[in-house]
Amino acid sequence: MAAQPLGTGVSSSRRRGASAAVSLLLLPALLTCGVRCAEPRTKPSNIVLIVTDDQDVVLGGLFTVTPLCCPSRSSILTGQYPHNHGVRNNSLSGNCSSPQWQKGPESQAFPVFLSKLEYQTFFAGKYLNQYGQKDAGHVGHIPPGWDHWHALVGNSQYYNYSLSVNGKEEKHGDNYGDDYLTDLITNRSLTFLDNRSPQLPFFLLLSPPAPHAPWTAAPQHQKDYADIKAPRDGSFDKPGKDKHWLLRQPANPMTASSLTYLDNAYRKRWQTLASVDDMVEKLVEKLKSIDELNNTYIFYTSDNGYHTGQFSLPIDKRQLYEFDIRVPLLVRGPGIAPNQTVEAPVLNIDLAPTILDICGFNVSLANVDGQSFLSQMAPSLRNGTARPFFLVEHTGEGHLTSDPSCPSLGPGLSQCFPDCVCEDAYNNTYACVRTLDSSQNLQYCEFADSESFVEMYDLKSDPHQLENIVKKVDPSVLQVMNQRLIKLQSCQGQSCRGIQ
């Protein structure tokens, strides 16, 4: 099957379908690299970054500092927390691909530095949710730093979409061979590798739509995983006891129709990811054929997590729990020994400084909140330390009027499902501090709402966050976590990495 060439990494993780308690898994099998990769090369290392859309963690993984597409992708590009790059949600008014974003953070995103280092840069797929809109420069806007630009206009689609191809609109229909977006991204990246200048290093950022809705599988994968269902373990269909009011409103247990819907969605998500497996296999084989595999770092990750039935929530993200803030992270490359697991926390804001570090750029010159994790993957190449704690933040969205199908809930909500289960709201605005080291695995969250609601979890004893222990924990611990949170919410640059 398509997953096989990835070895025990992506393929076995998707069969398990359960969170792991680690923070970074290094790609095995075809995506491994032994001592030979650390041999000196005159040309800098190449880099490939694959970012899927809404893929929950089923391996080890990294933490996303916000569980929503556009703010998270903005954090990947800038290496900054949302409170510093200013992207609050997926709308233009929330700064997603807005003129303000383009004039500020986008002009300092890491591809700009790669271009200055003479990297050949290639982008294909989803960029930011509002990219290509009329009020955001339309398709003629090409973010600085990119030599080859094949960006999706708007949010994820598999067919019937438009691309900005180097600033010109290219419309696509519903013919599989010409239009299926995941395969188009793959094919154009392979063409780029054939036509590149062999004397210069390259950077590819590939952003397929999978496994985002509408979950349209390629024809050859539409019958895959016929018997798969959403896992019934952990917090699946558990009541949201002692949690923020949004988690207390779903009916529990879930209805039979909701469970059927969930299982169908879960299966279709896997089917769309089968084409991403194909993408990785073809890329690895191409890198081998052009004798670049041993000098190329490959990163595989997602923009945010996703839930399918946890705490009786239907399908979405936007919550503070592990299933929404944990995403896969798999890496291979020069100097990285195969089959490692790094347990120190890694964030999506660390991708930009890590990529710059690999390229030999002085990361201290970049305005980033994250830190390179190259030292954790390849200790022989770099020295470094792990952070003791970090921030997760989300700005909730709602509508000024009540949802017509759920008038009793009143205004201020959004992402409502037929059973009046709403996934977001204005007061679903929160900030969390997460402590993860050898002695503690804690999460402390404060909501910006009329209740000043607080949630706290000890994930060592309660990995599925079933019990809010805020009323049980020692008040001195709460005070420490509160003070850390206050400092993190206003941190910038170095202060985000070394707060004690």
Give the number of C-alpha atoms closer than 13 A to the C-alpha of residue 345, restricted to the C-beta side: 26
What domains can you pick out in the chain, each with its CATH number? 46-383 (3.40.720.10)
The DSSP output letter for 363 is G
Question: What are the residues whose beta carbons fall under 8 Å from the beta carbon of 119, sequence distance 6 or more?
Answer: 44, 47, 200, 201, 202, 203, 359
Q: What is the mean pLDDT of residues 159-166?
A: 98
According to the model, what pLDDT value does residue 386 have?
A: 80
Cα–Cα distance measured from residue 436 to residue 439, given in angstroms and rounded to the nearest whole number: 8
pTM of the complete model: 0.92
Q: Which residues are catalytic?
A: 69
According to the model, what pLDDT value does residue 499 have?
A: 59
According to the model, what pLDDT value does residue 81 have?
A: 98
Q: Is the peptide bond between 214 and the residue preceding it cis, with omega within 30 degrees of 0?
A: yes
More confident: 35 or 420: 420
Local confidence band at 21 (pLDDT 50, 70, 90 cut-offs): very low
Local confidence band at 12 (pLDDT 50, 70, 90 cut-offs): very low
CA distances to 95, 137, 166, 359, 376 from 140, in Å: 19, 6, 8, 29, 40
**What percent of the chain lies above the pLDDT cut of 90?**
80
Q: What is the mean pLDDT of residues 33-47?
A: 59
Question: What are the residues whose beta carbons fall under 8 Å from the beta carbon of 85, sequence distance 6 or more?
Answer: 71, 74, 75, 78, 101, 104, 105
According to the model, what pLDDT value does residue 59 have?
A: 52
Give the number of C-alpha atoms closer than 13 A to the C-alpha of residue 127, restricted to the C-beta side: 30
Q: Residue 275: beta bridge partners?
A: none
More confident: 369 or 383: 369
Exposed/middle/buried for 17, CB within 10 Å: 0-12, 13-18, 19+?
A: middle
9-23, 181-195, 305-319, 378-392: least confident range: 9-23
Pairing state between β 329-332 and 161-165: unpaired
pLDDT digits (tens, 9 = 90+) for 222-236: 999 999 999 999 999
Cα–Cα distance measured from residue 305 to residue 437, given in angstroms and rounded to the nearest whole number: 22
Cα–Cα distance measured from residue 467 to residue 271, given in angstroms and rounded to the nearest whole number: 34
Question: What's the chain's average pLDDT?
Answer: 89
Local confidence band at 25 (pLDDT 50, 70, 90 cut-offs): very low
The DSSP output letter for 236 is B
Pairing state between β 120-126 and 148-152: parallel
User: What order do you get walking across the sheet with 454-458 strand by strand?
Assistant: 389-394, 430-436, 441-447, 454-458
Q: Is the peptide bond between 253 and the residue preceding it cis, with omega within 30 degrees of 0?
A: yes
Which of helix, strand or coil describes residue 437? Answer: coil
Cα–Cα distance measured from residue 119 to residue 134, given in angstroms and rounded to the nearest whole number: 30
| CA triple 70-177-189, angle to 5 deg | 55
Structure-block tokens of residue 252: 């529990």
88, 82 contact by CB (below 8 A):
yes
20, 62 contact by CB (below 8 A):
no
**Residue 76 predicted with pLDDT over 50:** yes
CA dihedral sign of residues 354, 359, 362, 366: negative
96, 303 contact by CB (below 8 A):
no
Cα–Cα distance measured from residue 361 to residue 376, given in angstroms and rounded to the nearest whole number: 18
Element (H, E) at 342: strand 341-342
53, 210 contact by CB (below 8 A):
yes
CA distances to 92, 145, 211 from 107, in Å: 17, 9, 29
Q: How far apart are the first and last CA of the chain?
A: 48
According to the model, what pLDDT value does residue 497 have?
A: 87
Q: Which of 144, 241, 165, 166 is nearest to 465 (CA)?
A: 241
Local confidence band at 380 (pLDDT 50, 70, 90 cut-offs): confident
According to the model, what pLDDT value does residue 456 have?
A: 98
Pairing state between β 46-52 and 202-207: parallel
319, 247 contact by CB (below 8 A):
yes
Q: Is the peptide bond between 67 and the residue preceding it cis, with omega within 30 degrees of 0?
A: no
pLDDT digits (tens, 9 = 90+) for 234-289: 999 999 999 999 999 898 999 999 999 999 999 999 999 999 999 999 999 999 99
Local confidence band at 101 (pLDDT 50, 70, 90 cut-offs): very high
114-128, 176-190, 280-294, 364-378: least confident range: 364-378
Q: Residue 165: beta bridge partners?
A: 150, 168
**What percent of the chain lies above the pLDDT cut of 70?**
90
pLDDT digits (tens, 9 = 90+) for 314-371: 899 999 999 999 999 999 999 999 988 888 899 999 999 999 999 999 999 999 999 9
Count how many residues are written for the chain: 500
Q: What is the mean pLDDT of residues 8-12?
A: 25
Q: Residue 49: beta bridge partners?
A: 205, 299
